[in-house]
Structure 1
Amino acid sequence: LPMVTKVALQCAGMLTGSIFVETIFSWPGIGMLTFEALQVRDLPLLQGILLMDTLIVIVANIGADMFYPFVDPRVEVGSDARA
């Protein structure tokens, strides 16, 4: 289960790393777009990019939580926490 969580959290690391990789190698993409929006202080564009990044991380974490019962059958979805 920790590996499933780690993979889901790597989504945030990939998004952050894309800014550096795309800026260094001048590749077009979300990372380069974020860097250029930071340089010209395009706040609405930055808000949209950060909203998209946040939604991707949230969906990845929810997906990991939904995947837990398939990896470990002892985990029950919607079970009562009182044991």
Structure 2
Amino acid sequence: MRIAFGLIGLLIALFIVAKLAGRSAQVLTQPVAVPGAPAASQPAGNARQQAQQIQQQVRQQYEQAMQEMQKQRQALEEAQ
């Protein structure tokens, strides 16, 4: 009787682990969206082209953020 309960418990534990592993594998295989970029503009092409497009998008976002900071800094200086 003890052996039967042990085997049932082991099978339940294995089932739970298999389900969790399957879910985590699904999460890992989903494409990752670039933060700040619309989902529809996912880069197409090979890995090198994708990397270059992502770098270009990040560079553009950085430049926009720097321009915004300069505008805010100028506004603060003018207010003083």
Bucket of the pairwise TM-score, normalised by the shorter protein: 0.3 to 0.5
Higher relative contact order (CA 8 A, sep 6+): 1
What is the TM-score when the length of structure 1 is the normalising length? Answer: 0.43
Larger-gyration structure (1/2) = 2
